[in-house]
Structure 1
Amino acid sequence: MSTAKSKGKKPKATKATAKAAPKRKEPSAAPSAPRVLTPPNPNVPRSSAPPKEAQLTVALTGDTDPSLPDAPKVADGQDLSFAWLVRDHGAQWEEWRSHIATYLNTVDVALGVRIRALRLFCLSYLLALKLPPSPTWFVERRTAVPEVFSAICAVKARWTFRVNNYISDFIDWLLITHYSLPDDYGRPVVSPEYHNPVSRMKHGRGSNHSESVRSALPYAYLTRLHEILAPGAHFRDWTWAQQALGIKVDEDGNLQSTGGRIADWFEVDPSLIDPNDPDCVWRTRKLLRRLDPVTRKVIATNLTVTEVWSPVRSVALLTKLHVPLRSSQVRWLDSGEADTWRYQTTGRDGPERGHPAPGEPWPVDWVLNTGPLAEGDERHPVRRGVFRRIEDREFRTLSTGLFINTNKTADADVDGDDKGYLIPWQKDDLLYWLEKLRNWQAKYNPIEAPIAWSTLQKKHLGTVKSAAALARYADTCFLFRDATATGEDRAKPISDKIMDILWYPLLKALQDEERAKGIAYADGRPIQFVKDYPDN
């Protein structure tokens, strides 16, 4: 493996393109407690695909279910039309299906979880209890229907109150839309013959943990995780992360082991390699054959390819170890490449070096952004990036905070640049690596314009969002864009699953270290951070 400060201009990497389109608040106190993870079991076979007759089409952003060719992902809530209800359970459910589909097309907030709630309502209540397939029967005041909460509690106790309330919202809409008449002022009034049998619940009922139920890792262990993942001053020093996933090769480019994934390595033109850049980690690898991605026919044999290592996944995980953010908040951070002011540092060689004196901040320069994506001016600056310029006019000082450009519920009805919140904490060791990643992306995975959220798919979002909700996000230069992807996906954020994959081996590396030192529980059992899994 070869590694590579840049001297002179290098050939530009192929730019990922995307269409430019129209365009939260209190952070938690501490990082979330780590989970005990179990990797996927490769020995469990996938179910066979159903016949072609089972195919259906839904116009909705997202991928298709591999077990249902050309069909939406029914299992994870991408079927906005609820076509599965009639397809799998009979035409008698068409009235419910039609009402649900119409309602979902009016939803703007929390669309994905509302889809899951209504799926649970259908599967665990209407179908499981074998109730009449008539919405009118359900909302008639004279009908004594089973309690919804009791039916769904046994299935999804942890978030039952939310499911209950989302179902109640749907029934309210159903009554206003189909079981009401206008009063003298034209306002809809529900007929007294009908009512909503699903009462809204307060959060006190059911399980509603305000904090994680998992034990937090001691601070010393968190520090050690930082050291394993991000040692040294440059990406070339991150040797554990470079070898944690995927295929390993020897100095001659030969495979050391078979199987596995290429993971964070992606093929590039050899001219893009900068041997003087300590953040350019590259290697050559031998391929016995190359297949056409469409026909799967052999198109070349005995090749030597050049690959570059992408630090995106590792820096994303490092960010979560430093600050208490959701995975999605990390993945969607803006690099600031289109901001008016550019954050850059001087006079330091590493994340723990360069302090003028103990306790003083590193020397930091904020300069006007002269890059190709820069927007705004000094009077009307654009500020969307994770690096936030904080000016104290009273003391005439500058500092740098972290700007988190998304905030879930708090941002539900907020548009564009008003979304997000500021962490006014100059966390220099994290800022160091975020700046490194921004510069790496600009050099090895540049973009031509900020990315419109309307172009993102479910794999980038993690859930289904309505077109109206996506339109409220400002176009973003994603800091954690996926250099290992292909086409326009290179400009879009990594998925949450990509982050989770690295969390398991990182915890296992720490576990192996502690076991090698003889660290054990009081009863003699070896210390455990992850569930053990057979090597095969």
Structure 2
Amino acid sequence: MAKGIISELTDELAISFLALQHYPVDQDVIDYLNERSKADDEFLPLVEVLTFRGGIPYKENLKVLEADNAIELVKDALKQAYHFESLKKNQTTKRNAIIILLSYIAKYFQITSLQEITLEVWNSIVAQLKNEDTSYREQLAERFINATRILAKTLAKVHNNDEYIAAISIKRSDYHFGSIAAGYEKWHSLFEEWRDGLLLKSTKDRNASFSKLLNYLRTIENSNDPFVFLATERKYTFWKYLDDNDVNNKRAAALNMNDFANWIIEGHLTEEDEDGGGTSIGYPLLTAKEIKLVIDTKYDNKSKPPESVKQSMPTKWLMLCKEILSEDEYAWPKSQEKEYIEVVNSDTNKIERIWCPVSTHLYLIMCELPVRRIQVKSSDSGEGDSQIYSQEDKKWVTNTSLHAGYWKQLGNKVAERGFIRKIHSQGKETVGIYINTNKTQDRAQGFSETSGYEIPWHNESIIKYAYELLAWQEKYNPVKAPKKYKDIPKNVWSTRPTELVKEIIPDRFYLFRSPLNPSVDSPPADWLLNRFWLALMDELEKRLKEQGEDVEIITDREENGVPKASIFTPHGLRVTGLTAFVENGVPIDILSKIVAGHASILMTLYYIKHTPAHVSEILTSAQKQIEDNQQIDFANWLKSSAWADAQKYSIFNDEQTAKGVFEQGVRALWESNQLGLCPNAGTLCNIGGELLRKAGKNGKDVYGEVPGGVGNCVRCRFFISGKPWLIPLWLHGNKLLADAQKLSIDVEQARTELEVLYGKRKSIAKEKGAAFITSSLKAEIKSAEALLARKTETLDQKLCDAHATYRLIEGVRCLANADFDTSEAHKYIPIRLVDSPEETKFFEQNKFRQQDLLVQASRLYAHVRDNDLEQERNHFIDKVMLNAGMMPITMGSLTETEVKNASDALASYLTYKFTDQELNQLDANAVTLQQLGVKIQSTEQLINMAKTHTKALENNKDQQDD
């Protein structure tokens, strides 16, 4: 045997193996282990032997190894370790430690090859080397810890399973403070008590801050006792230490640890008196002067930037990702060998390999929905809900799940928790999406069952993916009960919440529970999702290159070609596409109808009935004059008002900015415009946008320009409005929706043209090769891509403007029921205001009706005037008249004014006389006016009929006023 080994391994190793064969285990070792086993039934032979022999020189230590199985295992393991480069051939110290470790593994677990070390066996081995808190046992030498890590990497490659590496992961907080906290146990104990009492979804920031504090304390004599330290005045302060050493994220560290120190002082160094006050003997970690300095130091050169530096995936590539994931009944995901589980077929009693769709469906939903990955992972399946949505019947039906009605039976506040949720929007019951966790909003809700938010978007694709996955889970991965958050393995989440948050987060039937995990009722571990993501990016790069794109998405690979890193992360999916879909304002289902369906949408005020007669009643010159006077009166009143009164009866985009404007007391530049008031007479549009950088030492915040440019008041932080501008705001909102509908068609056309070019390039690459793609075609594609990007950006801005306008309208609506007893503001109530709890509503309607409303309104309100829109409306009228055998108005001998008046009258008549369906039929030339019952023979007769109709409406209105 020795000769064979010498031919394959080094002479030194061969000598070692010969030594293994000829030397039995030392008698003192056997005696020691026998004594330990008698004294302690739970003793761990592996760690005990490594500890006992750890201090003996390597060649002596070889004598304790015996049996041929150890030789075979060591031989196999070293070959594999060298092959996968988890061990270099010149790393003799590490190699020697591995030999010793493996030899004892072979002895105590009867293992002869790495293939025999299953994950279950490996977990048993690791359990002997670690404490319950996952830290390595103190008596274990560092070289054996390193040997364990190398062995884990090698096993992961051999078994193609990264869970071997996950098994040796260390609980970060405890290990993180293990060495630097030595001697500072009291600080450590107090810190964990303070940290775990906070409502934190992630403890990472506080842990990092505490590490910096411990490093600082080590520079101070007699700092081990926190009570003594904080009761003593200090010359060398924590902030000075952070500043002197140019420590990363020093501002966060200073503020976090100052809060921690104040907590100690308040709880342990302060004595309450009878009046409820207190006397403290503690000195805060930061002085008042330092606190001000820290606050001014908003960002240092090593802090992370305000915006993510991760690459955002282009929309065209996002669409290709969706295609890769979903085409041919999920063909590509099903080709991924690591996405399969083994189940026993109950009919045949045989083991079958079943594809697990969890990762696929998670990323498909992320391609559709602008949310973070952790939010999707946290989603509830709805198995415990009372009802479930039927895509086939298009209605909510009784849930027949094994756990149906679970939350209701428990008497929980929130009985319906599913990702697909019944919601009420625009006064009707509909289907939406429930995101049960949100980084910002959860702070107010405390991470409880009431946390999260709804998205009122009936997205058929998302519903399909969610219920497909639910059906798969109930068949192949059913659960007996919801999962407690605190029982989920640590490697599932990228952050670690405090103990308090763990207790508050509700139990869930996780929709994305993954049987690829050891814990099958938990969401997939991040490493599983990252592995799938890298494979997806690899496939994306491959297909793009096949289409002739010169791209490099995978930036690093293993030696065997497996991708290790990518320019894109899953986070990049969230910021792809229209940002308007993540803004608050116009319901997302309405945006979807405009963008995807190119629908014409009318927003109606809650007190304006949805009829042409009533709308025309509102839009009269007399009412406009009253409204103008109200705007003047309100502006004058506001200029002389205090902030407290203005706050009650006005609406602002940014209340903090508005408060500053009022407190400055300079009102000379205040100017009324068509939508509200500008306190700067339009001179500060260049700084009316979002905050770019918080105030530094110069004391000035830095702001960007108003989104959309000069004059886009609805997006300006200085803008002020109120009830007298409600109707102008309403008209502006409808004009924006009409513009967005038109732009959505332009975007679709640009996308279609680009797809044709992509098809040409793909065809050439497939038939002849990428080298045959001409430079002119490449240039044409680049130009088309740039055009699509510009048009998409314009559409996005228009939708965001609509959001902002809608928020202003809703703000004014909330002002309608304010208490006016303490002010003269009661004079400034909009025309025809009727107190009503109804929401502002949106209706899908005929495009001509939408156009006519805006054209008729533009006669009084210049801010919605649009010549192109008016020409489109008039073109419809001309087409209808031609189809009826009459001369179109615009082709006659009428003057421009006469054409305008005649077109307005005829448009009013058509919108009043016909339904949306009939108007659509007229637009499609499917029917004529005569066929719809209009008895006319000439253009003049039709115009006179329309004018008579208009006059009748005006007389009716006058009678109502009387």
Q: Does 1:463 align with 2:495?
A: yes
| Structure 1 equivalent of residue 211 of structure 2 | 120
Distance of 1:52 and 1:224 partners within structure 2: 45
Distance of 2:185 and 2:448 partners within structure 1: 39
Residues 301-380 of structure 1 mapped to structure 2, 5 A cutoff: 305-346=351-392, 364-375=394-405, 376=408
Checking the alignment, whether the CA contact within 8 Å between 1:148 and 1:164 is kept in structure 2 is no
Distance of 1:318 and 1:463 partners within structure 2: 23
Detail structure 1 runs of 4+ shifted over 4 Å in the superposition. Answer: 44-58, 63-69, 71-75, 129-132, 151-155, 192-195
Distance of 1:518 and 1:242 partners within structure 2: 26
Deviation at 1:455, TM superposition (A): 2.3
Structure 1 letter corresponding to 2:260: F
Aligned counterpart in structure 2 of residue 479 of structure 1, from 499, 506, 511: 511
Q: Does 1:530 align with 2:563?
A: no
Q: Does 1:386 align with 2:419?
A: yes
Checking the alignment, whether the CA contact within 8 Å between 1:78 and 1:464 is kept in structure 2 is no
The normalised TM-score by structure 2 is: 0.38
Distance of 1:131 and 1:427 partners within structure 2: 63
* Matched-pair identity in %: 22
Structure 2 letter corresponding to 1:177: G
Deviation at 1:143, TM superposition (A): 2.1
Q: Does 1:399 align with 2:426?
A: no
Distance of 1:368 and 1:203 partners within structure 2: 57
Query: Can you give the 5+ residue segments of structure 2 that lack an aligned partner in the other structure?
Result: 1-82, 89-93, 102-125, 138-144, 149-166, 561-962
Aligned counterpart in structure 1 of residue 237 of structure 2, from 145, 170, 177: 145
The normalised TM-score by structure 1 is: 0.65
Spell out, residue by residue over 1:420-454, the C-alpha distance to the aligned partner (whole angstroms, 9 max, x if none). 11111222222211111011111111112222223
Cα gap change, 1:185/1:409 in structure 2, threshold over 3 Å: closer, same or farther? farther
| Structure 2 equivalent of residue 289 of structure 1 | none
The higher radius of gyration belongs to 2
Residues 500-515 of structure 1 mapped to structure 2, 5 A cutoff: 500-515=530-545
Distance of 2:136 and 2:544 partners within structure 1: 41
Checking the alignment, whether the CA contact within 8 Å between 2:343 and 2:354 is kept in structure 1 is yes
Checking the alignment, whether the CA contact within 8 Å between 2:485 and 2:502 is kept in structure 1 is yes
Q: Does 1:221 align with 2:322?
A: no
Deviation at 1:381, TM superposition (A): 7.6
Deviation at 1:500, TM superposition (A): 1.2
Distance of 1:268 and 1:416 partners within structure 2: 35
Residues 219-258 of structure 1 mapped to structure 2, 5 A cutoff: 219-232=315-328, 237-244=329-336, 246=337
Spell out, residue by residue over 1:124-145, the C-alpha distance to the aligned partner (whole angstroms, 9 max, x if none). 5444x57653444466334222
Distance of 2:525 and 2:365 partners within structure 1: 15
Aligned counterpart in structure 1 of residue 522 of structure 2, from 492, 511, 518: 492
Query: Can you give the 5+ residue segments of structure 1 that lack an aligned partner in the other structure?
Result: 1-40, 247-262, 274-283, 285-303, 347-362, 521-526
Spell out, residue by residue over 1:396-416, the C-alpha distance to the aligned partner (whole angstroms, 9 max, x if none). 5x4321100111342234364
Distance of 1:330 and 1:449 partners within structure 2: 20
Distance of 2:530 and 2:347 partners within structure 1: 30
Deviation at 1:110, TM superposition (A): 4.3
Pairs aligned (count) = 407
SS at match of 2:432: strand
Q: Does 381-390 or 473-482 show the bigger shift?
A: 381-390
Q: Does 1:166 align with 2:289?
A: no
Cα gap change, 1:470/1:320 in structure 2, threshold over 3 Å: closer, same or farther? same
Structure 1 letter corresponding to 2:232: E
| Structure 2 equivalent of residue 251 of structure 1 | none
| Structure 1 equivalent of residue 937 of structure 2 | none
Distance of 2:495 and 2:353 partners within structure 1: 32
Q: Does 1:96 align with 2:187?
A: yes
| Structure 2 equivalent of residue 449 of structure 1 | 481
Spell out, residue by residue over 1:246-292, the C-alpha distance to the aligned partner (whole angstroms, 9 max, x if none). 4xxxxxxxxxxxxxxxx22111112368xxxxxxxxxx9xxxxxxxx
Q: Does 1:267 align with 2:267?
A: no
Deviation at 1:389, TM superposition (A): 1.3
Spell out, residue by residue over 1:437-486, the C-alpha distance to the aligned partner (whole angstroms, 9 max, x if none). 01111111111222222322322343333443223223211000112345
Checking the alignment, whether the CA contact within 8 Å between 1:331 and 1:495 is kept in structure 2 is no
Aligned counterpart in structure 2 of residue 205 of structure 1, from 299, 308, 315: 299
Cα gap change, 1:153/1:307 in structure 2, threshold over 3 Å: closer, same or farther? farther
Structure 2 letter corresponding to 1:225: C
Distance of 1:152 and 1:328 partners within structure 2: 38
Cα gap change, 1:169/1:72 in structure 2, threshold over 3 Å: closer, same or farther? farther
Checking the alignment, whether the CA contact within 8 Å between 2:258 and 2:284 is kept in structure 1 is no
Distance of 1:45 and 1:438 partners within structure 2: 44
Checking the alignment, whether the CA contact within 8 Å between 1:72 and 1:79 is kept in structure 2 is no
Higher relative contact order (CA 8 A, sep 6+): 1
Distance of 1:152 and 1:482 partners within structure 2: 48
SS at match of 2:298: coil
| Structure 1 equivalent of residue 85 of structure 2 | 43
Structure 2 letter corresponding to 1:341: Q
SS at match of 1:499: helix
Distance of 2:324 and 2:513 partners within structure 1: 23
Checking the alignment, whether the CA contact within 8 Å between 1:335 and 1:477 is kept in structure 2 is yes
Cα gap change, 1:192/1:336 in structure 2, threshold over 3 Å: closer, same or farther? closer
Cα gap change, 1:156/1:330 in structure 2, threshold over 3 Å: closer, same or farther? farther
Deviation at 1:55, TM superposition (A): 6.2
Checking the alignment, whether the CA contact within 8 Å between 2:448 and 2:506 is kept in structure 1 is yes
Checking the alignment, whether the CA contact within 8 Å between 1:266 and 1:309 is kept in structure 2 is yes
Cα gap change, 1:404/1:180 in structure 2, threshold over 3 Å: closer, same or farther? same
Cα gap change, 1:116/1:45 in structure 2, threshold over 3 Å: closer, same or farther? farther
SS at match of 1:402: strand
SS at match of 1:418: coil
Deviation at 1:194, TM superposition (A): 5.4
Distance of 1:445 and 1:453 partners within structure 2: 18
| Structure 2 equivalent of residue 414 of structure 1 | 446
Distance of 2:304 and 2:296 partners within structure 1: 10
Distance of 1:189 and 1:53 partners within structure 2: 51
Cα gap change, 1:96/1:231 in structure 2, threshold over 3 Å: closer, same or farther? same
Distance of 1:202 and 1:371 partners within structure 2: 56
Spell out, residue by residue over 1:466-509, the C-alpha distance to the aligned partner (whole angstroms, 9 max, x if none). 443223223211000112345xx211211222211111121121
| Structure 1 equivalent of residue 268 of structure 2 | 178
Structure 2 letter corresponding to 1:212: S
Structure 1 letter corresponding to 2:356: S
Cα gap change, 1:132/1:64 in structure 2, threshold over 3 Å: closer, same or farther? closer
| Structure 2 equivalent of residue 440 of structure 1 | 472
More helix by percentage: 2
SS at match of 1:318: helix
Deviation at 1:105, TM superposition (A): 4.5
SS at match of 1:425: coil
Structure 1 letter corresponding to 2:268: H
Please give the root-mean-square deviation of Cα atoms over the aligned residues, in Å.
Answer: 4.0
Q: Does 136-145 or 506-515 show the bigger shift?
A: 136-145
Deviation at 1:331, TM superposition (A): 1.0
Spell out, residue by residue over 1:38-83, the C-alpha distance to the aligned partner (whole angstroms, 9 max, x if none). xxx963459889999996555xxxx6669599x9966722459x55
SS at match of 2:341: strand
More strand by percentage: 1
Distance of 1:264 and 1:389 partners within structure 2: 32
Checking the alignment, whether the CA contact within 8 Å between 1:139 and 1:195 is kept in structure 2 is no
